[in-house]
Amino acid sequence: MNQIKKLLISLKIKTVFICLDDASELEKDALETFMRCVVTPLNNSSEGFFKFKISFYPGRDLLPEIDRTKVETINLDYYNLYQNTGRDKVEENAIKYTERLLRKRFDYYFGKDSLLEDFFDVSSVTINQYYKQLFYSSSNVPRNLGKILWYASRMSIFEGKKITKAIIQEATKQHYLQETRTVFFKNEFIQYKDYNEKFEKEHLKNLVNEIILKAKDNKRHIGNSSSAIFKNYTTNTAPSNYLYFIPEFESLIASLELNFFITKHSQQKDRGSGSGSNYIPPKEVSIYTLNYGLCQSEDIIYDENSDRKFRIERVFDFNNLIINWANSQKSIICNNCNATHSLEKLDAIKALGMICTECGQKTCEIITNNNTLKIVENSVQIPEKYFQILNTLMIEDGQKVRDISTELDYNRWTISALIRSDRLLQIEEYITPKNENGTKHYYITEKAKNIFFNGSN
């Protein structure tokens, strides 16, 4: 580093800017290694000569050994980006961004004399309405906006027609079905998962399905309701794309937002509940909206009026759904007194070092209640190859390196490296070696069985 710096200074270069795009497309271990070995030394030891601009996905940012107070962070999700302008103006500013983005791209490709009206049918829909619809369609993610317009162009421009509102709806639906939905429903693994995610793909797919079912039920409920705020809706026109819950639950659904199934729309107080001595005052809630293409695919009406009173109606309260879903997937169990704790208490129990609030012992762990899943996680997560070795030993315990490598179709040197005494499986006491007839055999421990296989034999 010092040699490179000296050479560059001799060439009268004062600062080197290094841009790392989509750094968190790497898995956590690889990203952490890269940051520690390359970014941290250059950043911390060069007295500002090397400066970094790094883009991360939310929930997948790692800057080990770097002082975060000296790092400027710009969040590009539209709610976080514009919330300081006033909560009521978040959507307004986000739509203006959509307009600026489109106009600048069209000016670049077609010249400054070009008009968007040359491409969009404005006979019955204004160009401003298109900006609003494209904001809803893309959540202001430029890549998604580009893909949606590409789908739309195949149904219109390529056929010598102009883009209509209906075509954008169909294009967004196709983008959802072909790309977004694939993440949980067709791919074997989730491409982008919050690094702190404690739920597996099947858990999250279950949540998506439960959210969709409730949104459809909300549509029927609103359409049949006699409430004044719902009087203009029928079961065919009632919007039901909103869901809200307390901010503490945002970490539970982070991977759904990361993969664009839902997007944070706003934050405001709910209506409170009860009356008299049972009255509970309004509390702060996070309001999300379902993916626009998901709504088109599932016949869920997307609210384009964005009425702040409408979106905090109690029908959109998803707190109980999330609690019930989370508790059905995992529980906090005390191994000392067998007390079961609600997942709502997870942060508090973690803060106490997994101490049980019933018996006071540091013996709590997180287990799943869903026996159909292979992996049962607690707060510990392990890389896939390590889990495959454990799963092999669960099927047949006491195997040699050669047996494990044959079963997993890895070469024996890879398996030998993964199960060495200085690697995770032995350090964490998930496997134990035994010499039998002069050859090492490996056994899975009760600790690993309890953590990853729910104690199954």
pLDDT at 374: 33
pLDDT at 329: 72
CA torsion sign, 68 to 71 to 72 to 78?
negative
pLDDT at 124: 93
pLDDT at 112 over 80: yes
pLDDT at 195 over 90: no
Mean pLDDT of 134-146: 94
Joined tokens for residue 377: 């996680």
Q: Which residue's structure tokens are 């997937």?
A: 329
Residue in 170, 104, 161, 163 with CA at minimum distance from that of residue 137: 170
Residue in 346, 324, 296, 312 with CA at minimum distance from that of residue 211: 324
Q: pLDDT, tens digit, for every residue of 153-193?
A: 999 999 999 999 999 999 999 999 998 998 877 766 666 77
**Average pLDDT over the chain, rounded to whole?**
86
Cα 367-369-372 angle, rounded to 5 deg:
115
Based on C-alpha coordinates, what's the Rg of the chain?
Answer: 26
- Contacting residues for 341 by C-beta, under 8 A, at least 6 apart: 331, 332, 333, 334, 349, 356, 357, 364
pLDDT at 371 over 50: no
Q: Which residue's structure tokens are 């739309």?
A: 152
Q: Are 223 and 327 in contact (CB under 8 A)?
A: no
Mean pLDDT of 436-444: 92
- Contacting residues for 172 by C-beta, under 8 A, at least 6 apart: 137, 148, 151, 292, 293, 296
Helices (H), 278-400: 292-298, 319-329, 346-351, 384-395
pLDDT at 188: 60
Q: For 130, how many CA atoms within 13 A lie in the half-sphere containing its CB?
A: 26
Residue in 332, 291, 326, 295 with CA at minimum distance from that of residue 206: 326
pLDDT at 207 over 50: yes
Q: Are 341 and 364 in contact (CB under 8 A)?
A: yes
pLDDT at 375 over 50: no
pLDDT at 139 over 50: yes
Tell me which of 310 and 343 has the higher pLDDT: 310
Q: Are 65 and 40 in contact (CB under 8 A)?
A: yes
Percent of the chain's residues with pLDDT above 70: 91
> With the CA atoms of 124, 240, 264 and 169 taken in that order, what torsion angle do they form, in degrees rounded to the nearest 10?
-40
Cα 435-438-442 angle, rounded to 5 deg:
35
pLDDT at 357: 83
In whole angstroms, give the CA distance from residue 120 to residue 161.
9
In whole angstroms, give the CA distance from residue 155 to residue 136.
20
CA torsion sign, 38 to 40 to 43 to 45?
negative
Mean pLDDT of 216-228: 95
In whole angstroms, give the CA distance from residue 239 to residue 175.
21
Percent of the chain's residues with pLDDT above 90: 48
The lowest-confidence range among 196-205, 207-216, 261-270 is: 196-205
Residue 424 banded pLDDT, cuts 50, 70, 90: confident
Tell the burial category of 410 from Cβ atoms under 10 Å away from its Cβ (0-12, 13-18, 19+): middle
In whole angstroms, give the CA distance from residue 246 to residue 347.
14
Q: Are 302 and 176 in contact (CB under 8 A)?
A: no
Q: Which residue's structure tokens are 């995992």?
A: 330
In whole angstroms, give the CA distance from residue 356 to residue 336.
9
Q: pLDDT, tens digit, for every residue of 51-109?
A: 999 999 888 888 888 888 888 888 888 998 898 887 778 999 999 999 999 999 999 99
3-state class (DSSP) for residue 105: helix
Q: How many CB atoms lie within 10 A of CB 348?
A: 11
pLDDT at 404: 92
What ranges do the domains of the chain cover?
2-74, 95-180, 201-291+306-317, 330-368, 384-452
Tell the burial category of 433 from Cβ atoms under 10 Å away from its Cβ (0-12, 13-18, 19+): middle
Q: pLDDT, tens digit, for every residue of 325-357?
A: 877 776 678 888 888 776 667 778 887 888 888
pLDDT at 47: 84
Residue 378 banded pLDDT, cuts 50, 70, 90: very low
pLDDT at 69: 84
Q: Are 119 and 155 in contact (CB under 8 A)?
A: no
Greatest Cα pair distance, the chain, in angstroms, is 85
> Fold for domain 384-452?
Arc Repressor Mutant, subunit A (1.10.10)
Q: pLDDT, tens digit, for every residue of 4-62?
A: 899 999 999 999 999 998 888 888 889 999 999 999 999 888 788 999 999 998 888 88
Q: pLDDT, tens digit, for every residue of 404-423?
A: 998 888 888 999 999 998 88
Mean pLDDT of 218-236: 94
pLDDT at 342: 64
In whole angstroms, give the CA distance from residue 335 to residue 113.
71
Mean pLDDT of 262-281: 77
In whole angstroms, give the CA distance from residue 7 to residue 309.
62
